[in-house]
Amino acid sequence: MTETLPEAPVTGTPAPDVRPAAPRRLLVALIISELLITFALATPIVATLSLKVQEIAPDRKEQVLATVMAVGSIAALLLNPVFGHLSDRTTGRFGRRRPWITGGLLAGLPAAAVMATAHSTAQLVIGWFLAQAAYNAALAALSAVIADRVPPHQQATMSGLFGAAGFAGVVPGLVLVGLIPGSTTALFVIPSVIGALGAVLAWSLLREPAIRPGAARAARTVNLRSVLGSLLFDPRTSPAFTVVWCQRFLLQFSNALIGAYGLYFLMARLDLSVAEAAGLVSATGLVSLAGNVLAATVFGRVASRTGAYRALVVASGVLMTSAMVVKMFSASVWPVYLATTVAAVGLGAFYAVDLALVLRVMPDGGDAARYLGVFNIAKALPQTLAPVLAPALLALGSDPVGASADQNYFALFLGGAVAALLATALTPLIRHPKLVRD
């Protein structure tokens, strides 16, 4: 069976998509694959890399960990759209996406072995780079399956479930770290082994039609110019895509700006000890995770039934802005819990609809994985930029609220609030013929 790609209409209102509902096995495969990829990537970030760095470079652990994390961020930033570009042009009997998804999950296993056996910073950096390459190859193709094979009336629901799986994928890593905190080898290997087993399941469930080597679009030439071009897009020809990209960047930036300083914020504002602050971070982390998963699941279904994507983006931005304002003035425990809950619901609501929204506004032409990879840059880039800007905000004078005036957390949360508010204000600029219901 050969896939035939429909030509996008040149002018006028886009033709209605009459594809039948996606089979349940496909939806299950998408959710499980996203869960496993997040598990494999989140566990090292949460604890395993820190533990390994403590083993190999205890006297320089902060600098070494920063180097390892930076290399991983750059790899994710660049490789996701590149692998998406390659996936768009893959041909063969096994389809376009399935080889990259299963191959990426399998390739995570040797990458984990490199990290688990690392006795030097260089080896750990190489291993983490390989892991990011493997799992971003899988992620790039996985998101594109939704564009390829899930019809529009199911995409918002799938977006919500996909987002919920991404949030929930952190939980197994947290549990694993709690069960075997002293075994870095097992903490590296177990998630990758489970991911490799998941690759077998994905291969059986993500059956695709074959793509003939001469098929239109799929057989376009891959060269250095096309690969480098996969990292860019022209805002003039895709204004709605540009706005949605900027919104994701700003909301993720707002969240990343304060994420790394949660422990220090609680110690400064609430005058807590390290142990007390760590306990509160764990408790609020669980609240945040529950809010993320619940909001992503619920609002994905709401968006699917109502088509109110832009309205939910506005609601999400307002909630995240409000959470930042509450934390600006927080000096006790309960406002912190309130702000955490509001922010979790807001972020979960956004990730419930942003994938479905971008699928409607991104340029046509058979480059779904490439554009989704570019869209993923808006999520990865803030994680690199926010830690650079945060110290500058913290150094702006003294904190007018906290007991300790050494770091200005008021300014830090004000920066987060401004970013979230700006993202919300961009919503009226999202205009596209496929958005007709809100």
Pair 246, 202 in one domain: no
Report the CATH number at residue 95. 1.20.1250.20
Average pLDDT over residues 357-382: 79
Average pLDDT over residues 124-144: 91
Pair 73, 199 in one domain: yes
Average pLDDT over residues 335-345: 93
Pair 272, 188 in one domain: no
Q: What is the pLDDT of residues 233-274, one digit of tens each?
A: 777 778 888 999 999 999 988 888 877 677 778 888 888 887
Pair 419, 353 in one domain: yes
228 in any annotated domain: no
Pair 179, 291 in one domain: no
Inter-residue contact 382 to 283 (CB < 8 Å): no
Pair 198, 335 in one domain: no
Distance CA(36)–CA(48), nearest Å, equals 16
Inter-residue contact 394 to 409 (CB < 8 Å): yes
Q: H helices within 17-116, ranges in order?
A: 24-43, 49-56, 61-88, 98-116
Q: What is the pLDDT of residue 80?
A: 84
Pair 123, 254 in one domain: no
Confidence band for 7, pLDDT divided at 50, 70 and 90: very low
Pair 246, 99 in one domain: no
169 in any annotated domain: yes
User: Comparing 431 with 118, which gets the higher pLDDT?
Assistant: 118
Average pLDDT over residues 79-105: 85
Q: What is the pLDDT of residues 289-323, one digit of tens each?
A: 888 889 888 888 888 888 888 889 999 999 999 99
Cα angle value 349/238/226 (rounded, 5°): 105
User: Comparing 341 with 201, which gets the higher pLDDT?
Assistant: 341
212 in any annotated domain: no
User: Comparing 124 with 53, which gets the higher pLDDT?
Assistant: 124
233 in any annotated domain: no
Number of separate helices (H) and strands (E) present in the chain: 16, 0
Q: What is the pLDDT of residue 129?
A: 94
Confidence band for 225, pLDDT divided at 50, 70 and 90: low
High-pLDDT (> 90) share of the chain, %: 22
Q: What is the pLDDT of residue 4?
A: 38
The residue assigned the tokens 């996909």 is 162
Q: What is the pLDDT of residue 216?
A: 44
195 in any annotated domain: yes
Is 70 exceeded by the pLDDT of residue 218?
no
4 in any annotated domain: no
Q: Which residue range is the domain that position 266 belongs to?
A: 239-429
Pair 144, 54 in one domain: yes
User: Comparing 228 with 1, which gets the higher pLDDT?
Assistant: 228
405 in any annotated domain: yes
Is 50 exceeded by the pLDDT of residue 11?
no
Instruction: Write b or e for each residue in 211-238: b if 16 or more Cβ atoms lie within 10 A of its Cβ, otherwise e.
Output: beeebeebeeeeeeeeeeebbebeeeeb
Q: What is the pLDDT of residue 270?
A: 85
Is 80 exceeded by the pLDDT of residue 25?
yes
Pair 29, 173 in one domain: yes
Is 70 exceeded by the pLDDT of residue 224?
no
Q: What is the pLDDT of residue 406?
A: 72
Q: What is the pLDDT of residue 26?
A: 84
Q: What is the pLDDT of residues 165-207, one digit of tens each?
A: 888 888 888 788 778 877 889 989 999 999 888 888 888 877 7
Is 70 exceeded by the pLDDT of residue 6?
no
Average pLDDT over the chain, rounded to an integer: 82
Is 80 exceeded by the pLDDT of residue 341?
yes
Number of domains in the chain: 2
pTM of the complete model? 0.76
